[in-house]
Structure 1
Amino acid sequence: MPLESNARIVSELASRGYNAEREAVTLLAGAEDVAAALEAAVEAAPDDALRITTDHVRAALDGHGTAPSADAPSGSGAPSGSPPTPSDRSSASPDQPPVQTAEPGRSPVETRGSGAGGAEADDPAADAAVGGSAHGHAAAAHDRDPSWRELEVGNDMTGHSTGTGEYADFVRTFRDRYERLSGLLRGRVNHRPAEAIADMPGGSDAAMIGLVNDVRSTKSGHWLIELEDTTGTFPALVMKDKGLADVVDEILMDECLAIEGTLADDAGILFADSLHFPDVPRTRVTGGADRHVQAALISDVHVGSEEFVADAWSRFTDWLHTPEAAPVEYLLIAGDMVEGVGVYPDQDEELDVVDIYEQYELFAEYLKEVPGDTEIVMIPGNHDAVRLAEPQPGFSEEIREIMDVHDARIVSNPATVSVEGVEVLMYHGVSLDEVIAELPEEKASYDEPHKAMFQLLKKRHVAPQFGGHTRVAPEERDYLVIEDVPDVFHTGHVHKLGWGKYHDVLAVNSGCWQAQTDFQKSVNIDPDAGYAPILDLDTLEMTVRKFT
């Protein structure tokens, strides 16, 4: 049945308050009388059902004699039982256009915004379904058996906030940050506390681990860095002839750093020989699913904005109902589901929906277009109706009830999600603005947002700098520390598409679903709208699909 029929079926069901399993849509599309079959399926569903299932459709077809036509697909085509192994997967059919592999170090042609390790499909905007995955798997034979799925959420602080905003709360947050990040550095340097270094004789070798309390250049062109630990502060001088300028350029306030060097003769300052970030290991064993299954990584949907690209969204969700997209069993949304209200000056002039609750209701309607058996994980962003300070808890019960049409898992920002053995760190990405503003352009820029993400991985913290644009909420535990190294780091916020690998961690900023607003024009942001990075969870290779 043509794709348009699937799209019409999904839209019609969504207008009646239902989403649907993809196989249910396939069965309806194959019926001799599609309209009658749809009516029968709705009648067959229980009154309290929110999702039309395959069982509902089969019961309706059996009861009303609207059997599938002879040329209709009969289902997934894969036997039940154990997950298919790589050797079971066939190649893409010869009539499928090839997937275009990005040149190393380059982005999709449209954006020039990405790094290595990715591929982009050959403009699926034309029909929302071209090409195969990066491996040419035969998606039509994919069995979406929910019993094979494994999804666990960690680091979710929703419902566990302890901060009251008092000074002591901030002390606890930064003490926890120091203890956990310094633990990652203690094996690399012979660390001594600040008070112990102050008592050492001049000329001694010394090393200190602390949070950056100050960093500034001197009149002579050197750099003075002051570190603070739980015992006090101590200054270190980085000489301009030491060859460390490239490292000093990357330092942010409040991040954890280790400095090794030699004490001055009067023991009042440490002459730095080397600087160390907590960083992630250069090589490690990454996770991977033991079957071919995929996750779509998106963010910044911004429903409610006049510039929400509804047509692109519909092409994306239509594609999710095609056989080619059958392996896409997970959808990970990294914040900003709606445009929000009062987020920036004169925003009301750019709103299509001015009530925040109506925005979420409309988002829920768009979410119904996603196949009903897709596992969805969502975190909030700075446009969502939660506190701005990070970590951001998941939505209130009132908003959760509005979005419960898809049984989505709504967790805090940031959060870690284990998807069939692949560890994904989801963070909306507000701190990327600060990283891009503070660091040299070659280290971090909006055109290459993944490079700014590399810096956060190096610092092992998603929002290291305190007191700037990124608001931090004091908690007993610093939920923003990257304690466990992820396989995938997924962010949004900056509305730019970019990806690349840093020490075997795939960093992905997934663009947005909002065309350029007047406000974005005023700050020179040209968004990458209507893209969907599709991640192979078995190989951690990625295809970027364009739906605009």
Structure 2
Amino acid sequence: MDESSVVRKFMDIDMQLTKGALEVLRSHENMEAAVQKVLLALTERETKPFVITPDIVTEILGGEVHEPERSARPRPSSPVTEAESTRKLEDEAKTKPLPELSHTKFKPIAAEYESRVKILRDVTGKSYSEGELKDFVGLFKDRFEKMKRILRNRIELQDSIPMGSLSKLGERQIVKVIGMVSDKRESSSGNVMIDLEDPTGRATAFVFKKRGELFQKASEVVTDEVIGVVGSLRAGDRIPRIFVNDIIWPDLPVKHELHRAEDPVCAALISDLHVGSEMFLEDLFLKFVRWLRGDTGNGKQRELAGRVKYIVLAGDVVDGIGVYPRQEEELLIDDIFKQYEVAATILGQIPEHITLVILPGNHDAVRPSEPQPAISKDVAEGLYDLNTVMVGNPAWLSLHGVNFIAYHGRSFDDLIGTMPGLNRQNPVAPMVKLLQKRHLAPIYGGRAALSPEQHDYMVIDEIPDVFHCGHVHVNGYTRYRDVSVINSGTFQGKTHYMQQLGVEPTPGMVPVLDLKTHQTRVIRFA
């Protein structure tokens, strides 16, 4: 049993194995049996730890382990040796570091200002869920109450009523309700039926195919989101029926007063490096680093580079292990710890005056369910040695007074697979839909697994100035109701998995946002 598969087994049950704990398991005479024993014991615990330390493993295995010796136990043989698999990245990143700001005339103005990063909301250190039914009930109750408050601010729904009151009203009366979508289906005649519920009752909303624009709205309704419905009441056999006249999403206000930095500083927005993959485009990334250091570009480009005070890396720092079928065939580094070591070496060449904000993605060594805590120091110690702020996914941030939502974007997979008209080549379209729905992952039970926390961290109850995502590997930008909507693209080439999905990545494109003017400029390094 190789180390990477062991780490993945723990990640699959929302647990993070530290390097020390892995070494304790390796020291066991029968490593596979030890792993199974620890996994079984942990899953049976009433309170399940997230980070699995050497002490926890030793406690479970009792006296069955030996003191780990790093060099005493050889790793399983493979067709490609560890030295061969890491040579390209480690040689270039470690033995050929970029010189210190070699352009003597380059004086970055961002270096004159103190970094001002505030973490406004983040699940890291606040995850208390035990994964029981009551936790899921609490999560959806919290979601409903938060979304109801937002919807009640819409003029069209200020006089909405609980569904439990519908049975007391007369036939054909116009009603307004707010409900969570428990199901959506199509009748044999092509009409759409939407099952809604709130804490007081249920109703079925009917949208007829002939209604044109309204029918298009109905096609964009997804399960588990909270919407408002206006329509004509009809008596039902068991539950009330509503013939719909309008569907209302929480949405953003048409106007939003932007927060602006007082200093002339910028944020560069990146994501999806996938260090450890054969397709990681290190040369392109080092071009980006050289630009930040003032080594490349014309006068205007270098002036812009000098104003970069922050970099936000929206997930998938490394390629990870066992994330998609046959991934191992495209890995240059098949050890998750070494992937992070090399990533830290490469990111360490970014100028020290720039603060790097890092959140995890679905390829990183964190639990798969969202919200995800920050990448642990036990897994990626080198990242913590840099000028970094490590946050969870999603994270609500303030950079120099400008409010960001940074989210990797795993829920795009569910949204694109459900809503007509969305695709991976236009990444900002699903982002706008999430803003309209005021939720980062509205669909439960899809590819974006949700952790039943005490609060729904995915509700967009505060309006951001900037909404930054990654995940789809395609760069995109738009403005929606005064919010900058930015997908940062990637620094990974086209993998076989992307070919299967029909994705044409746009590597080496970096959006740079002026935090004072809110203008965005995309710098191309490809």
Fold match (TM-score > 0.5) = yes
2:232 pairs with 1:262: yes
Query: Which consecutive segments of 4 or more residues in structure 1 shift more than 4 A?
Result: 11-14, 16-20
CA distance in structure 2 between the aligned counterparts of 1:523 and 1:465, rounded to whole angstroms = 21
SS in 1 for 2:476: strand
Q: How many residue pairs get matched? A: 423
2:159 pairs with 1:193: no
Corresponding position of 1:383: 363
Task: For residue 19 of structure 1, report the CA deviation from its aligned partner.
Answer: 9.4
2:290 pairs with 1:318: yes
Any conservation in 2 of the 1:294–1:535 contact (CA below 8 Å)?
Answer: yes
Matched to 1:223, the amino acid is: V
2:142 pairs with 1:176: yes
CA distance in structure 2 between the aligned counterparts of 1:199 and 1:519, rounded to whole angstroms = 55
Task: For residue 12 of structure 1, report the CA deviation from its aligned partner.
Answer: 11
- Superposed CA offset, 1:277-321 (max 9, x none): 010011121111122111000000000000100100110001000
Matched to 2:408, the amino acid is: H
2:112 pairs with 1:145: yes
Any conservation in 1 of the 2:202–2:240 contact (CA below 8 Å)?
Answer: no
Any conservation in 1 of the 2:266–2:310 contact (CA below 8 Å)?
Answer: yes
Matched to 1:382, the amino acid is: N
SS in 1 for 2:385: helix
Task: For residue 408 of structure 1, report the CA deviation from its aligned partner.
Answer: 0.8
Corresponding position of 2:42: none
Counterparts of 1:299-314 in structure 2 under 5 Å?
299-314=271-286
CA distance in structure 1 between the aligned counterparts of 2:163 and 2:376, rounded to whole angstroms = 44
CA distance in structure 1 between the aligned counterparts of 2:93 and 2:426, rounded to whole angstroms = 37
Corresponding position of 1:66: none
Matched to 1:155, the amino acid is: R
Any conservation in 2 of the 1:18–1:368 contact (CA below 8 Å)?
Answer: no
Task: For residue 17 of structure 1, report the CA deviation from its aligned partner.
Answer: 11
How large is the Cα RMSD of the aligned pairs?
Answer: 2.1
- Superposed CA offset, 1:21-53 (max 9, x none): xxxx34xx47xxxxxxxxxxxxxxxxxxxxxxx
CA distance in structure 1 between the aligned counterparts of 2:325 and 2:172, rounded to whole angstroms = 56
SS in 2 for 1:216: strand
Give the counterpart of 1:395 among 349, 370, 375. 375
CA distance in structure 2 between the aligned counterparts of 1:19 and 1:377, rounded to whole angstroms = 22
Corresponding position of 1:102: none
Corresponding position of 2:317: 337
Any conservation in 1 of the 2:131–2:451 contact (CA below 8 Å)?
Answer: yes
Corresponding position of 1:372: 352
Task: For residue 402 of structure 1, report the CA deviation from its aligned partner.
Answer: 2.6
What percent of counterpart residues are identical? 38
Matched to 1:369, the amino acid is: Q
Matched to 1:408, the amino acid is: T
Task: For residue 220 of structure 1, report the CA deviation from its aligned partner.
Answer: 2.8
CA distance in structure 2 between the aligned counterparts of 1:519 and 1:185, rounded to whole angstroms = 39
Any conservation in 1 of the 2:110–2:309 contact (CA below 8 Å)?
Answer: no
Any conservation in 1 of the 2:354–2:387 contact (CA below 8 Å)?
Answer: no
Corresponding position of 1:210: 179
Give the direction of change, closer, same or farther, for the CA distance of 1:225–1:143 in structure 2 (3 Å limit): closer
Any conservation in 2 of the 1:13–1:19 contact (CA below 8 Å)?
Answer: no
- Stretches of structure 1 that go unaligned for 5 or more consecutive residues are 1-10, 31-71, 77-139
Counterparts of 1:63-74 in structure 2 under 5 Å?
72-73=104-105
SS in 2 for 1:332: strand
Corresponding position of 2:456: 478
Give the TM-score taking structure 1 as reference length: 0.74
CA distance in structure 2 between the aligned counterparts of 1:312 and 1:260, rounded to whole angstroms = 52
2:297 pairs with 1:327: no
Corresponding position of 2:209: 240
2:512 pairs with 1:534: yes
Task: For residue 223 of structure 1, report the CA deviation from its aligned partner.
Answer: 1.6
Matched to 1:146, the amino acid is: Y
Corresponding position of 1:115: none
- Stretches of structure 2 that go unaligned for 5 or more consecutive residues are 1-89, 295-301
Matched to 1:300, the amino acid is: D
- Superposed CA offset, 1:143-190 (max 9, x none): 52233x321112111011111111111011110000001101113312
2:120 pairs with 1:162: no
Give the direction of change, closer, same or farther, for the CA distance of 1:338–1:316 in structure 2 (3 Å limit): same
